[in-house]
Amino acid sequence: MLPDYPEIKRKLQRGLGRRFELLIDQKAPHVARIRRIGQAEGDKFTFEDEEGTIVEKGFHRFEGRVEVPIKLPLVEINKTVAKQIEQAAETIAAQSEGLLFTAHKEAVESVGNVFDARGQQYNPLMMWDMIEKVHIDFDENGRPEMGIVVMHPDTLARIRPQIEKWEADPVLKKRRAEVLAKKKEEWRDRESNRTLVG
């Protein structure tokens, strides 16, 4: 073999792996917001959801491909690899975001919590009808920890100019206050169950 320095290169590989994960995060912004619980052994996990149902799951494999053309000069290799890493990160990001939405869809369907707009144009009241169906937690200052709304960019472009107007609309304001009050009440009920009784 030609002279080499494997020790330092292993460290660089680990650094590269870390940067690769950051790149995936940039391309998968929703998944990037989720923290990671590492499982050190085994091939399955089970947990109890909010309703107390036991859910058993296995692991999904996400993969992207990076091919290193070793016959090219090093500068060319670096360029090609950089491009391929970008593509691989995109592939993995698409897979992980896809799984997130699939898992989310399965979860809401399994508990019958789907809100169907039945082809109607987006209307802000719909959002509050939708929020009314889900668990909302509140922080220590009593502020709601709202989820993330994901919508098609065309829909966003259409509604964006109207957001300010909706926020000032007294009917919508009233609806917002009603829903949040109800959610807070539900949250208080849930929190009050964090007790040892008997």
Partner 1 sequence: MIERVIEHWLAKVNERGYEMALCQALTAQGHTILRRPAHGGTEHGKDIVSRDRQNKYHCYQLKTGNLSKSEWRAIRDEVAELVEVPIQESNVPQNVAFTPHLVTNGTVTDPVSLEVKARNGHWKRRGFRPLDLILKDNLFRMFLDLQGKFLPSTPTDFEVFLRLYLGDKTAPLNRDEFCLFLSSFLPNKALRRKAELSRALAATAILSSYILTGYQEHGNHLAIAEGWMLVLAHMLRLAEQHQGSQADWMQSVTLCRDAWEGAVRSLVDEAVRSPNWIEGDPMVDNSVHGIRSVLLLGYLSCDAIYNRRGESPPGGEDNILVKVKENLNGLSRGYWGESASPFVFAVILFLWLRGDEELAVKIAADLIGFIARENHPNRRLGVPSPYYEPSRLLAIQFGEDFFDHRQTFVGRSFTMQWFVEFVARRGRKRLLKTLWADITHITKACFVPDELRDFYFWSVKKGTEVARQWGRPQRWEALVEQSNLNDLPRLLLVEQFPDLVLPFLLVYPHRATAELMRFVERRASQNFGLIKAP
Q: Which residues bind partner 1 (CB under 8 A)?
A: 18, 21-22, 25, 32, 34-48, 52, 56, 139, 190-191, 193-198
Instruction: Indicate the residue among 1 and 196 with the shorter CB distance to partner 1.
Output: 196
Give Cβ neighbours of residue 99 (< 8 Å, ≥ 6 apart): 60, 62
User: Minimum distance from CB of 103 to partner 1 (Å)?
Assistant: 17
Instruction: Indicate the residue among 170 and 198 with the shorter CB distance to partner 1.
Output: 198
User: Minimum distance from CB of 137 to partner 1 (Å)?
Assistant: 9
Backbone angles phi, psi at 115, to 5 degrees: -105, 120
Question: Which is it for the CA torsion 26, 31, 34, 37, positive or negative?
Answer: negative
User: Minimum distance from CB of 142 to partner 1 (Å)?
Assistant: 15
User: Minimum distance from CB of 74 to partner 1 (Å)?
Assistant: 28
Instruction: Indicate the residue among 58 and 153 with the shorter CB distance to partner 1.
Output: 58
Number of CB atoms found within 10 A of residue 92's CB:
20
Shortest CA distance to 169 belongs to which of 124, 118, 136, 119? 124
